[in-house]
Structure 1
Amino acid sequence: MSETTHDGGVALGAAPSPDEGLTPARLADKYGLSVSGARPSLSEYIRQLWGRRHFILAFSQAKLTSQYSQAKLGQLWQVATPLLNAAVYYFIFGVILKTSRGMTRDTFIPFLVTGVFVFTFTQTSVMSGVRAISGNLGLVRALHFPRASLPISFALQQLQQLLASMIVLFLVAVGFGNYPGLSWLLIVPTLVLQFLFNTGLALIVARMGAKTPDLAQLMPFVMRTWMYASGVMFSIDRMLAGRPEWVIRLLQYNPAAIYMDLMRFALVDDYGSSHLPPHVWVAALGWAVLVFVGGFVYFWKAEERYGRG
């Protein structure tokens, strides 16, 4: 073929492109292209997360450092806040309402402080997780990285905060006659399982909060209701003595109650196994695996939608 140029000459016509007539999908397949921001496979997503492990740790440490940077007492508030909450709960529930039924003062105070510290770990993980995406849209839209890094790093931040507070918890336990023993070794698996459970919850509420930012305003009421139903300020089996057995078991198998009671069993000498539901370790493991795996998959399924709209 030939065509006439503007000066009257003849030029050879351009050969047709080998890609002419190909659909966009076929072009992408031919040249190995993929949609920008598309969700990777689950195995690839896990591999990407592992590659960002240093970022996750550094981000959690930076958030922890900056959390109280404007306060004069700084990081001391990590310990002071749950201790003040425990003092208020002791006055209201221990002194006024007498929820310490069957427990001496020396048993009830470490029982209460342990419950407050452990539940606060779950509470703050959920509250920070619900804003993990919606509160960091600038970062989500500016950089390409697995979005699960954010809720995981927030859960890790709360774990670091709890570990710093554990020193005070140990001092309270020892101060009321609960000295270190073999049962204290149970603290490690309890915290590992609770961390997995909390991370799964953070992933679930992070996806929900990304779609519905108003959920962050509702969550404090949800967490407060959960706290009152979990036996933070009272022993479930003693408070509900005489009630139907299924009601007691229902509240005892509540995951927040399980992790609190396991920690109390480890730290408080007078809080024996009789206060724990049957197969409590199986239940603790089951909740951790179910919520962590389910939460991770639930979050991953919406990976390509975070930060859009």
Structure 2
Amino acid sequence: MSQVLDTPPPSTPPATATATTTGEDAAILAARYGLSVSGARPALGDYVRQLWARRHFITAFSTAKLTAQYSKSTLGQLWQVLTPLLNAVVYYLIFGVILGTSKGVPDFIPFLVTGVFVWTFTQSSVMSGVKAISGSMGLVRALHFPRASLPLSYCLQQLQQLLFSMIALIAILLAFGVPPSPSWILVLPALALQSVFNAGLALAMARLGARTPDLNQLMPFILRVWMYLSGVMFSLGDKLAKTDLPPVVQHAVQCNPAAVYIDLMRFALIDSFTRDQLPPHVWAWAVGWALLAGVGGFIYFWKAEETYGRD
């Protein structure tokens, strides 16, 4: 009897060992049944495939947003053309008539309208990107889908709006005596490169806007400075030539992405805007900016995929 009483009880495994074993068992079961952590960031290649699989959603979402944008207005979708046209009229009165920037610029009205339309595409893409995640938090928290679908759909919406505006732009060019020419075909690659640039920039802004809601209030001031540095309302090359800025600074201003895409569109559409007015290696700059913003912005957004909607 004493031997039985003196026998020590069996040892109990430590809690840490139990937890470790349980974690290992869970990992084994997850691997066996193909389970994964909910909301975890997928690999980059898988993420691209998921986005491609949802391309119809991205297109339908952008079209629905574009249709609903002016649904409560009396003129409806006509505002897609009227808004940039009215902006161009305001800029013409202030810069062309009052400040006299039209002097020495052939075909100033086509020159101005082209700049305004192209700039509006970039400006609207950036602003919609800032609000893409923070303004759709209900959708982000309710459904599981690649979050990049939202800023990309907003960019597609802005592209659709630009295409409507291009109809008015072509009418203005013809009305002011700018004849159609083979160079108009260059609009397609220039617009494609700008679209990639805008999409990448919108993705980067979407991540920043999701973390910093105040960015939505700050961006209009940043964009206004960028607009003035991009020659939307005046000939940028002529203005820079009259300054005392070092040549390297002048070249940097001329090669900023907004100025590059505006100049390419003017060169494609307006005969009086000649190759001499383009910055050197303009197509290389256009491709470089598109790749830098498109690839860099996409990866930057993807890196924070699992954080959206969890703050």
Give the TM-score normalised by the residue count of structure 2. 0.90
Which moves more between the two structures, 130-139 or 174-183?
174-183
Letter in 2 for 1:74: G
**Matching residue of 1:27:** 26
* Shift of residue 23, structure 1, vs aligned partner: 3.5
* Shift of residue 174, structure 1, vs aligned partner: 1.1
Q: 1:112 to 1:25 in 2, by over 3 A?
A: farther
Instruction: Decide which of 271, 274, 281 is 1:272's aligned counterpart.
Output: 274
**Matching residue of 1:253:** 255
**Matching residue of 2:136:** 136
* Shift of residue 176, structure 1, vs aligned partner: 1.2
Q: Which runs of 5+ in 2 are unaligned?
A: 1-17
**Matching residue of 2:10:** none
Q: How many Å separate the matches in 2 of 1:65 and 1:242? A: 45
* Shift of residue 20, structure 1, vs aligned partner: 8.9
Alignment of 1:59-70 (within 5 A): 59-70=61-72
Letter in 2 for 1:130: V
Identical counterparts, % of pairs: 66
1:104-152 per-position Cα deviation (integer Å, ceiling 9, x unaligned): 4xx1100000000000000000111100000001100010000000000
SS state at 1:23 partner: helix
* Shift of residue 81, structure 1, vs aligned partner: 0.7
* Shift of residue 26, structure 1, vs aligned partner: 4.6
Q: How many Å separate the matches in 1 of 2:90 and 2:216? A: 25
Q: Alignment length, in residue pairs?
A: 289
**Matching residue of 1:209:** 209
Instruction: Decide which of 1, 25, 37 is 2:39's aligned counterpart.
Output: 37
Q: How many Å separate the matches in 1 of 2:211 and 2:123? A: 21
**Matching residue of 1:119:** 119
Q: Are 2:50 and 1:48 aligned?
A: yes
SS state at 2:203 partner: helix
The answer on whether the counterparts of 1:101 and 1:238 sit within 8 Å (CA) in structure 2 is no
1:178-211 per-position Cα deviation (integer Å, ceiling 9, x unaligned): 1111100000001100000000010000000001
The answer on whether the counterparts of 1:126 and 1:205 sit within 8 Å (CA) in structure 2 is yes
* Shift of residue 296, structure 1, vs aligned partner: 0.2
The answer on whether the counterparts of 2:105 and 2:235 sit within 8 Å (CA) in structure 1 is no
Looking at secondary structure, tell me which structure has more helix per residue: 2
Give the TM-score normalised by the residue count of structure 1. 0.91
1:84-110 per-position Cα deviation (integer Å, ceiling 9, x unaligned): 111111111011111123124xx1100
Letter in 1 for 2:30: Y
Which moves more between the two structures, 95-104 or 174-183?
95-104
* Shift of residue 276, structure 1, vs aligned partner: 0.3
Q: Are 2:88 and 1:89 aligned?
A: no
* Shift of residue 287, structure 1, vs aligned partner: 0.1
| Alignment RMSD | 1.3
**Matching residue of 1:154:** 154
SS state at 1:144 partner: coil
